[in-house]
C-alpha cells in the first residue's frame, strides 16, 4: 500500500501516519520527494480499512497494490482448480466444456421434469438444473416447490445419470439442499448474503456462485473468498449478466469479457449463463457459442418442454428441439475450439 | 394488461392468446384495429409472468398497466403509514423529522459507544444506530461483535433513552436481533434476500429496508411488499445511494429524487442515509439538509468518537463535534421547512 | 400507441385526450373497460412527443407500440444492407467477415504507419484504421496529425491496396476527411452530435457510427436514422463497449449480445471493436473470436509496431506478431463459422 | 505518478521503465522494497498516457497522483470564479443564487415566449432559457427554429431585461449564437464534442457546460479544461442528471452530491437542472430547494405557458403558476440558506 501525503503535510502529520501504520503491523518506508512525501507500507493490507487512513490529516490518497483476494486469486494458487464428481465429470482446467440445462422452476408434475431431463441427457449435457427454492422479485410470483422439487431432481438424477444443480437461498436450508444436490447454487441476489456464503463454505459440496447484478470483479472474487475462507475449495464462478441501463431489448448485459479476466485473475472455473443474461431465447444460441471462445469452462441454459406455459422465465427458455439444435452445434464448436492453437504470444499478451 | 399482437398474427394465434388469458383468470376484450389487434386483459396481472405470454406466437408486446405492489403502493392505501414507538417517537406522515446516528460498527469497549450515544442524544436525535452483525465485502474485514454488540446497544438505550436500530443479516438471527433492537435493519446487500424478508415480515418489530445497490423503484417496493405480505405493516424505506460508474469522488450516487417518487408511489416512510451514499464526511452535511427538502422523513448518519480509528467506514463518519454542528443546523432547517408553504398547485403537480 | 386513462378519469378528460390525438393526425379507438378506458391511437407516433400527452389530465400511461426508427429498422427494410467498395470488398449480408486494423493514432513518421499497414494487409485484413483527428478526454493529450495524418493514410492505401477508415469529429471537416477516407467514422462521443450526423448523411461515403458510451439500442438506431434520413444509406453500426461500473479490470463493458439484437432489429451491418471495449490486449483475441459467433459482420482492432511507445491506447494495441497470430486463428474461425449449420428452429427462435 | 513493479520484475526491466520515464521528462526516485520496487516519477503526468507504461514488461500498476485538470482545478486556482454580466448579475462565489428559466424549445409565435419571459422576470429570475437549435434523439422530432428562435430570445431580452442562455450545437454556429446569447450552452450530448469545446473556448462569451449522460467528474472537468485551455475563463458547470438503470419513474438520476464535489475540486460555478434530471414536473420543486442546500450557484428550470402543448419536454415543464409558486418558496429558501451558519468544523470536514 502506498500512502501519498499532501504537499502541505507537516512533519508531524507524516509521523503520525507512519506510526499508525506501524501500530497496524506494517513496515513503512518513507520516500520524501521534492513535492510530496510518499509512504510505502509493506504488509497485509487486508488487515485494515484503507478508508480510515484516508481521512487522517495530511493524507492525500491511499493507493492499494495487492489484490485483497488471497485464496481466490491466481497469484498464490497458479494452477487451475478442477472440480471432480464421482461419475467422472469435472469442471475447470483442461476438463471438457460442461453444460447445465433444465427448467427455471421445477413444476408439479415430475414427468415433465423427466421429459426435459431425458432430452438434456440425450443431447450430451452433464448437469440438470432446476429451481426448487425460487428467489422471486414479487411475493405474488411462484415461489417454488421446495423439498418436493429437490426430490424430483434426485429422481431425475436416478433416472438419467445426470448430476444436479439447484439454488439454496438461506443458511438454514443448506443441509437440506446439500442432501439432494451435487452443486449448491448461490444466486445473484445472494452474492453478498454473507451468512449464506459462510454456510455453504462450511459444508463440502461444490458451490456455484453467481455474480451479483452490479458486482465488480473484486466484489465477486471476495464473495468467493468468503466461501473459500471457510474451508470449501470447490467454488465455481458464474457470469449471468449485469444490470444495464437499457432493458428494452435484453434483460441484462452479458459481460463476456469478464471470463478471460476471471481466468487470469483467479484459478476458479467459470460458467456463463446466457439465458438469464439476455432474457430472450433467440440470443441464447449465439451467446453460448461465443462463451466457448471467451474461455469459459461451461454454460448454463434454460430449457422447457413448453416455454409458453413455464411458471417462470419462459421467454428465455429454449424448447426441447431448440436445445437439441444448440447442443449439436455446441459439440462441433467445442471440438473446433479445442483444436485451435493458442499461440504463445497471445497467451502471455 | 394490454397484449399487442403482431400485424401478421393469425386469427388462430389471437384466439390462442385470448384463451390462455381466460384460463389464467383474466377477462379479455379484443380490439381489432386496421393494423393490429390489441387484447385488453382485465384482472390481476400479479398472478402471472408476462414474459411467458411474450413468447407466444403472434404476440408483439405486453404492456403492463397496474403496478405490481398492492400493499406497498399508495393507490390502495392513500394515507401515510406512521410507525409509532412506545416513547412517543414516530416516523412518517406528519411526524417530526427523525435522526438515526451512531458508529458504523460497535467496537469492543462499551464506553466508546456510550460516549457517542450521549452526544447523539444531547444533539436531539431519536435513534442510535450501530452494527453488531456486519456485512463485509471481504472475509478479512471486521465482522462485528454479534450478540455482545446488541447488548451494548441495549445498554446505551437504557442509559440515554434513545431507540436503537441495528442490522439483521440472516433469517436465523431475526429473533435474537428483535430481542434487542427497536427497528430491524435489512441491509442493501440483502434487499432481495427473500428468506430474510419473510422472516422479518413474520415478527412484529418495525423494519427498515435499505435499497439495493442497483434496485429499481419497482424492485425496492416489491421487496417491501414481501415484508408487508407476511403481515408486518411497519416498513420504512431507506435510500442509501446506488452504484454509479465513478467512485473516484463519491462511494455511490445519492438518488435524492427517489424520495418524492417513493412518497408519491407508496405510503411508507422514507429515510435517507447520506453517509453510505457519499462515502465522504464533507458531503454529509449538505446532503442531510438537502434530504429535508426532498421530503424525507428522516436521515441516518454515521458518527464516531475518532473516525480515523474506526474499524469500518471511518472516512464517511462525522466526528462528535461535526455531528453537533450538523444537528444544530438541521434543527433550524427542519423548523424552516415546516413553515414553508407547499402551494396547492405544486402538491398536485 | 395506447393511451391508458386513469380509473378516475372523467368523460370530459377522455374526450379531450381523444380530441387532441385526432388533431395530431391519429385515428382513435376507445376501449371502455370496467376498470379503465384505453385509447388506441393509430398513426405515426413519430410525429409527436408522447411526454406531452402523459401530462394531460386523466392520463395514466402512454404505451408506445411502433419502434421509432422507420429507415434503420428491419420491418420496412427486411433485406440486409450491404456496403460495397470499388475493390470488390463488401460489408454486411453474406459478405465475408471483415477486419479493420491499425494504430489508434497516426504518428509523425509515415514509415511506421506503412510498417503496420503492410502487416495488416499481409494478414488478410481489408481496412486500415488510424486516427488523424483524435477526440481526447484531456487537452494535454496528443490531438492528432489532422490533414497530415489523412495523407499518410492515403499513401498507405496506395501502397497496400487496403481501404481506409478514419474518424471525422466536426461537421466542418466532413469534406476534407471524405476526400481521403473510404469510410467516415463517427466516434462514440459524437454519436449524438446531430449536426455531424446530418453532415455525414449529406455526403455519399459510407459512415461507421460507433455506439455512445451509454446509448440504448433505440438511441443508437435513431442516431443512424439521422444519417439515413439525410439520404445516405451506407451506414455501419459499431459496438465498442459501454460504460460499466467497474473499470479496474476492463475499460468498458463489451455488450456482445447487442450484435444479434441489432441484426434482428435493423438491416445495417454491425462491426465489433474489442480493443476499445476491453482496453487490454490480452482480452482482444478471445473477444474477436467471440464476435464471429455473435453474428457480427467484422471487427476493428488496434495494432501498433511498438505499443509501449504508442501515443495513445498502447495498452489495448496488439503487437504486429500478436496481430498475425490473431488473424491466423480468425481465418480458421470464420471458415468454421460459415460451415456451421444454423438450424431453422434457432433462426426463428 | 507511482509505478509499482511486479515482485518478479528484473533489474533490467526496472531500469528500462526508469529510463523511459526520464526520456519523457520525469525525475525518478527508486524505492526498492523487500517485496517489490516502486518508482516515483515526479513531473507533469499530463504529458503522457499512463496506459502505455502499464503495458511495459515488469510493470504491475500505475498509480496517478495529480489530478489532470490544471486550469479547472482548485489547487492552482483557489478562489472562486465569478462570471459577471453588464447588468450587474453575477454567478459563482458569493453571488446571489441565480435562476435560469424558460421553455425547452422556442416555438413559432413570439408572443408565447414573451408571455413566459414576463413571468420569469416578474418572479425574480435572472436568465431566460430557450432552445433555438435542438438536439433531438429522433430526426422526426421538432429540430428548433434556429436563427428565428435566437431573434425571439433577443427580443424577449429587450422587452424584459433578462439575460439569455441558449444552446449551440456545432462549431460552425458559435459566432451566430454568440451574437444573440449572453451565455452559450453546450449540451449533454456534446460534452465531449471537442471541436465545439475549442470553438466556444476561442470566443469571449461565458459558456455553460452540461455534464454528459455518463460523464465522470474527471471527464466533466477535463471537458471544461478544453474550454479554459483555449483562453475562455468563463465556464459554468451544470449537473443535469446522469443515466440510471431505471427510467420508469425518473428520466435520469439527479446526482446532487456532485455539487459539493465540484465546488471542492474546482473553482467554477455550478448550476443544477432538475427539469432534465428528473423529467417530471412534480419532482422539480423539491429538487430546486434541495439544490440550494447542495451549495449550487443556481438552477435551471423549464417553464411553459401550456406544457401539454409544448413541442418538447412538456412533462417536465412547470406551468406559469407553478413556476411562480416555486420562485416564491425559493426566494425564502435562499434567504434562509444565506443566514445559516456554516461551522468551521464542517467547512474543513
Domain extent listing, chain A: 2-63, 83-347
Which DSSP helix (H) or strand (E) runs through C111? helix C110-122
What would you report as the CA-atom Rg of chain A, rounded to the nearest whole angstrom?
23
A-chain CB neighbours of D4 within 8 Å are: 2, 65
Which DSSP helix (H) or strand (E) runs through C347? helix C344-347
Which DSSP helix (H) or strand (E) runs through A164? strand A163-167
Give Cβ neighbours of residue B110 (< 8 Å, ≥ 6 apart).
B152, B155, B156
Res D347: pLDDT: 77
User: Rounded to the nearest 5°, which phi and psi values hold at B196?
Assistant: -70, -40
| Alpha helices (H) along chain B | 11-23, 50-54, 110-122, 147-160, 174-180, 194-201, 217-229, 258-265, 274-278, 284-294, 320-339, 344-347
The crossing angle, in degrees rounded to 10, of helices C284-294 and A284-294 is: 160
Query: C-alpha angle D257/D261/D266, rounded to 5°?
Result: 145
Which DSSP helix (H) or strand (E) runs through C28? strand C27-32
C-chain CB neighbours of B60 within 8 Å are: 65
Res C76: pLDDT: 78
Res D291: pLDDT: 98
Question: In which band, very low, low, confident or very high, does the pLDDT at D51 lie, cut at 50, 70 and 90?
Answer: low
Res C219: pLDDT: 96
User: B62, B139, B142, B216: best mutation site toward chain A, by most A Cβ within 10 Å?
Assistant: B139
CA C126, chain centre distance (Å):
19
Res D262: pLDDT: 98
A311 forms beta bridges with: none
User: C49, C69, C244: best mutation site toward chain D, by most D Cβ within 10 Å?
Assistant: C49
Structure-block grid coordinates of residue D309? 402543448
Largest CA distance in chain D: 77
Question: In which band, very low, low, confident or very high, does the pLDDT at B138 lie, cut at 50, 70 and 90?
Answer: confident
Question: In which band, very low, low, confident or very high, does the pLDDT at B271 lie, cut at 50, 70 and 90?
Answer: very high
As a whole number, mean pLDDT of residues B255-268 equals 97
As a whole number, mean pLDDT of residues C184-197 equals 97
How much of chain D is in helix, strand and coil states, percent to nearest 5?
40, 20, 40
Rounded distance between C-alpha atoms, residue B232 and residue B265, angstroms: 19
B-chain CB neighbours of C40 within 8 Å are: 31, 33, 38
Question: In which band, very low, low, confident or very high, does the pLDDT at C29 lie, cut at 50, 70 and 90?
Answer: confident
- Tell me the pairing of strands D127-129 and D163-167: parallel
Q: Which residue's entry shows cell 502505455?
A: D52
Give the closest-approach CA distance of C330 to chain D in angstroms. 24
| CA nearest to A302, candidates A110, A89, A120, A178 | A120
Here the ipTM equals 0.90
C330-336, long-range: CB within 8 Å, 24+ apart, which pairs?
Answer: C330/C97, C330/C99, C330/C288, C330/C289, C330/C292, C330/C299, C331/C124, C332/A340, C333/A293, C333/A340, C333/C289, C333/C292, C334/C96, C334/C97, C334/C292, C336/A336
C36 pLDDT above the threshold of 80 = no
Q: Which residue's entry shows cell 429437490?
A: A150
**Based on the number of CB atoms within 10 Å of its own CB, is C328 exposed (0-12), middle (13-18) or buried (19 or more)?**
middle
Interface of A with D (CB under 8 A): 2, 4, 27, 29, 31, 33-36, 38, 40, 42, 60-61, 63, 65, 243-245
D46 pLDDT above the threshold of 60 = no
| Dihedral angle, C-alpha D274, D278, D283, D289, nearest 10 ° | -20
In total, the C-beta contacts within 8 angstroms joining chain B to chain C are: 42
Q: Are B262 and B218 in contact (CB under 8 A)?
A: no
8-state DSSP, D215: -
Chains that touch C (3 or more CB pairs under 8 A): A, B, D
Nearest to B213 among A136, A214, A223 (CB): A214
Res B27: pLDDT: 78
In chain D, whose CA is at the least distance from the CA of C304? D52
Nearest to C214 among D222, D243, D312 (CB): D243
Question: In which band, very low, low, confident or very high, does the pLDDT at A75 lie, cut at 50, 70 and 90?
Answer: confident
Nearest to D193 among C56, C189, C218 (CB): C189
pLDDT, tens only, A219-262? 999 999 999 999 999 999 999 999 999 988 999 999 999 999 99
* B35/C42 Cβ within 8 A: yes
Res A47: pLDDT: 53
C242 pLDDT above the threshold of 80 = yes
Res C256: pLDDT: 98
Question: In which band, very low, low, confident or very high, does the pLDDT at C157 lie, cut at 50, 70 and 90?
Answer: very high
Cβ atoms < 10 Å from Cβ of B27:
13
Nearest to A2 among D38, D42, D244 (CB): D38
Res A131: pLDDT: 95
pTM given for the model:
0.91
In total, the C-beta contacts within 8 angstroms joining chain B to chain D are: 145
Give Cβ neighbours of residue A69 (< 8 Å, ≥ 6 apart).
A218, A221, A222, A224, A225, A266
Q: Which residue's entry shows cell 459507544?
A: B113
Give the residue, C95 or C342, on which the prediction is more confident: C95
Task: Pick the range with the lowest mean pLDDT from C157-161, C315-319, D240-244.
Answer: C315-319
As a whole number, mean pLDDT of residues B241-260 equals 95
Q: Report the CATH architecture of D83-347.
A: Alpha-Beta Barrel (3.20)
Strand residue runs (E) in B43-159: 59-63, 83-84, 90-91, 98-102, 127-129
Cβ atoms < 10 Å from Cβ of D337:
17
Res D20: pLDDT: 87
- Tell me the pairing of strands C90-91 and C83-84: antiparallel
Give Cβ neighbours of residue C95 (< 8 Å, ≥ 6 apart).
C82, C89, C297
In chain A, whose CA is at the least distance from the CA of B245? A214
Task: Pick the range with the lowest mean pLDDT from A114-128, C33-47, D318-332.
Answer: C33-47
pLDDT, tens only, B274-309? 999 999 999 999 999 999 999 999 999 999 999 878
Q: Are D28 and D41 in contact (CB under 8 A)?
A: yes
Length of chain D: 349
* D281/B261 Cβ within 8 A: no
Give the closest-approach CA distance of B221 to chain D in angstroms. 13
Which DSSP helix (H) or strand (E) runs through A298? strand A298-302
Q: Which residue's entry shows cell 413448453?
A: A306
Give the closest-approach CA distance of C2 to chain A in angstroms. 17
| CA nearest to B132, candidates B99, B104, B156, B98 | B104
**Based on the number of CB atoms within 10 Å of its own CB, is C3 exposed (0-12), middle (13-18) or buried (19 or more)?**
buried
Q: Report the CATH architecture of D2-63.
A: 2-Layer Sandwich (3.30)
Res C66: pLDDT: 66
Chains that touch A (3 or more CB pairs under 8 A): B, C, D
As a whole number, mean pLDDT of residues C263-291 equals 97
As a whole number, mean pLDDT of residues D309-334 equals 92
Give the residue, D294 or D20, on which the prediction is more confident: D294
Rounded distance between C-alpha atoms, residue A301 and residue A101, angstroms: 5
Res C72: pLDDT: 94
* C244/A255 Cβ within 8 A: yes
Structure-block grid coordinates of residue D300? 435551471
Res B272: pLDDT: 98
In chain B, whose CA is at the least distance from the CA of A134? B194
| CA nearest to B174, candidates A172, C233, D33, A153 | A172
A133 pLDDT above the threshold of 90 = yes
In chain D, whose CA is at the least distance from the CA of C279? D51
Q: Which residue's entry shows cell 413566459?
A: D116
Amino acid at each position: 500500500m502506498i500512502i501519498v501525503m499532501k504537499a502541505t503535510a507537516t512533519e508531524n502529520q507524516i509521523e503520525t501516519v507512519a506510526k499508525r501504520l506501524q501500530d497496524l503491523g506494517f513496515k513503512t518506508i518513507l520516500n520524501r520527494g521534492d513535492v510530496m512525501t510518499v509512504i510505502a507500507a509493506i504488509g497485509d493490507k487486508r488487515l485494515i480499512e484503507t478508508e480510515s487512513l484516508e481521512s487522517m490529516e495530511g493524507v492525500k490518497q491511499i493507493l492499494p497494490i495487492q489484490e485483497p483476494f488471497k485464496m481466490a486469486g491466481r497469484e498464490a494458487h497458479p494452477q487451475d482448480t478442477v472440480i471432480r464428481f464421482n461419475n467422472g465429470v469435472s469442471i475447470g482446467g483442461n476438463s471438457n466444456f460442461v453444460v447445465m440445462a433444465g427448467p427455471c422452476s421445477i413444476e408439479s408434475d415430475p414427468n415433465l421434469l423427466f421429459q426435459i431431463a431425458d432430452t438434456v441427457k440425450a443431447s450430451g449435457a452433464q448437469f440438470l438444473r432446476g429451481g426448487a427454492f425460487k428467489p422471486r422479485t414479487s411475493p405474488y410470483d411462484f415461489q417454488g416447490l421446495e423439498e418436493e422439487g429437490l426430490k424430483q431432481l434426485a429422481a431425475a438424477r436416478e433416472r438419467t445419470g445426470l448430476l444436479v444443480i439447484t439454488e439454496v437461498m438461506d443458511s438454514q436450508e443448506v443441509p437440506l439442499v446439500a442432501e439432494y444436490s451435487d452443486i449448491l447454487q448461490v444466486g445473484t441476489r445472494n452474492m453478498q448474503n454473507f451468512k449464506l456464503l459462510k454456510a455453504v463454505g462450511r459444508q463440502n459440496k461444490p458451490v456455484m456462485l453467481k455474480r451479483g447484478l452490479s458486482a465488480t470483479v473484486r466484489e465477486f472474487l471476495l464473495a468467493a473468498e468468503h466461501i473459500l475462507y471457510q474451508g470449501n475449495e470447490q467454488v465455481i464462478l458464474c457470469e449471468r449478466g449485469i444490470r444495464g441501463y437499457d432493458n428494452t431489448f435484453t434483460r441484462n448485459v452479458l459481460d463476456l469479457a469478464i471470463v478471460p479476466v476471471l481466468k487470469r485473475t483467479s484459478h476458479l472455473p467459470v460458467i456463463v449463463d446466457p439465458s438469464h443474461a439476455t432474457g430472450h431465447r433467440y440470443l441464447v444460441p449465439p451467446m453460448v457459442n461465443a462463451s466457448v471462445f471467451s474461455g469459459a469452462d461451461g454454460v448454463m441454459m434454460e430449457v422447457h418442454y413448453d416455454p409458453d406455459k413455464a411458471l417462470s422465465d419462459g421467454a428465455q427458455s429454449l424448447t426441447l428441439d431448440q436445445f437439441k439444435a444448440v447442443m449439436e452445434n455446441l459439440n462441433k464448436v467445442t471440438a473446433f475450439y479445442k483444436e485451435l492453437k493458442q499461440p504463445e504470444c497471445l497467451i502471455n499478451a
